[in-house]
Amino acid sequence: MTEMNRRSLSDPRSGEISLRDLVAPLFRKKLILSATFLASLAVLILVGLLLPPSFRSQMAVLVNRERIDPLVTTESTTQMPANTTGDVTLAEINSEAELLKSQDVLKQVVIATGLYKQSSRLDWLFPRRDEAKSIERAVTKLAKALKVENKTNSNLIQVSYSSPDPQQSYAVLQSLATLYLEKHLAVHRPPGSYEFFAQETQKYHDALQNSELNLRNFSRQQGVAAPDIERSDLAEQVANSTGQLQTAKQAIAADEDRILSDRAQMKTTPQRSATQQSAIPADKLLDDLGADLLAAQTKRTQLALKYDPTYPLVREMDQEIAQITAAITEATKTKYVTETTDRDPTYELLREDLAKSEADLAAQRAGAAALQRGIQSMQAEMVDLDRKALTQEDILRDAKANEDSYLLYLSKREQERTSDALDETRIANVAIAVPPAIPALPLYSMRLVIFVAFGLALLISIGVAYTVDYFDPSFHTPAQVIEMLGIPVVVAVSRKSA
């Protein structure tokens, strides 16, 4: 009895499985194992020889940040993307990898390379397939065959494709590289941005010309070039005229008060005053009175010679002589005074000042009225100029807004034109670091095919041996007898020993 049998007899339910227990089925089914191995090896080698060789073409895409395009906005300030440090994130690399495998890019590759036209083993089942379905199947097949991997700790994306034809492998990757770059540029830059900014630039250029034409027509039609300046000049003139008007009113009030004062003084001032005065005694009167007295005395003497002193004529002559004597006495006391008068100078000065004040008053009133009319006229003109200034400001503001918009969109158009030029020259943030090449050697060599066939045949044969042993109803060990029948085994003899 062998050592294994002894262990089984002593402790059939120990549960321990040794290496000998594991390989025992292989020894029991060694014929099946050998036959299966040889048959599988022959079939696998034959299949490897009959299958067409596979040629793999590879390329590498470098994701960098050498070009930073500003964000497409209508704002005056140029906005840059948030991440402009130059470091490429893992999310960006994964995005580019997904872009490489996008359905529209693969569909274009299929159409460009004609993969959907290639015959398949299932053509005899579907002799009349629709072209759209053929393209979809080819896209699905290409997506499975295309390998896109991100190299660890690098900005490289490794792309590989295998096919029986080396030219086809190269053509697929070459077309994929071209279409991927176009897709990258289309995705990262909105299409039609240059055309949009060009249209807006032309629109605001026309609007600016129209505003300038309106400004020229305004100056010609309104007859004023700078209403703001003229209004400022008129405002200054109105201020000066208002000051002059106030001065004139003060002068009028002063002249009125002066006229009243002159008239009051003229009432108390004489118009004429004595300029020369002389006193002359009454000599001629005395001479006349002396002659009258002598005549009267002579006559009395003559009457006294004829008549009595009481005679009325004599007495009358006495009275006459007494009167003449009294008159002579009085005449000796009398003096003739001669006065020379002329216009009073004070009165004349007041009269002249009154006349001058009245003339000045009339002139001041006329000037004040003229100033008042001038101020009203200038104020009305200022209102009109203010209206014209507002209209001109509206036109200038419109022209300024159109000019700013025109310059803004002109700058944006040049930015987009530069970006389009960079797109045309393939200057982007991705580049084909390793371009695809036509593979010269197949993917799997004959040595590798034999090695793989050997390994697969070995696995298949082992699997078949274990399977056959598993389904074999006979007992192989004492433990199986004890477990299945429940009777103890005293002695176990191997088949070879028997």
Instruction: Spell out the domain ranges in the chain.
Output: 1-53+446-498, 272-343
What pLDDT score was predicted for residue 114? 84
* Type of residue found at 372: Q
Element (H, E) at 62: strand 55-63
Element (H, E) at 393: helix 345-424
What pLDDT score was predicted for residue 497? 41
Average pLDDT value for residue range 302-318: 79
Give the dihedral of Cα atoms 4, 10, 15, 16; nearest 10 deg: -40
- 142, 109 Cβ separation under 8 angstroms: yes
What pLDDT score was predicted for residue 11? 46
Per-residue pLDDT band for 12 (boundaries 50, 70, 90) equals: very low
The angle formed by the CA atoms of residues 486, 491 and 495, to the nearest 5 degrees, is 100
Which residue, among 482, 436, 385, has the nearest Cα to 160 in the 3D structure?
A: 436
What pLDDT score was predicted for residue 198? 79
Alpha-helix residue ranges (DSSP H) falling in 29-84:
30-50
Which residue, among 183, 186, 145, 189, has the nearest Cα to 163 in the 3D structure?
A: 145
| Mean pLDDT estimate for the chain | 76
- In sequence order, what E strands does 390-488 have? 430-434
* Type of residue found at 408: L
- 328, 286 Cβ separation under 8 angstroms: yes
pLDDT higher than threshold 50 for residue 8: no
Encode pLDDT of 219-250 as tens digits.
788 777 777 788 788 888 888 988 888 998 89
CA distance 410 to 211: 18
Buried b (16+ CB within 10 A) or exposed e, 119-135: eeeeeeeeeeeeeeebb
pLDDT higher than threshold 60 for residue 73: no
pTM of the model: 0.43
Per-residue pLDDT band for 490 (boundaries 50, 70, 90) equals: low
- 227, 384 Cβ separation under 8 angstroms: no
What pLDDT score was predicted for residue 88? 74
Mean pLDDT comparison of 81-95, 128-142, 338-352, highest-scoring range? 128-142
CA distance 235 to 103: 75
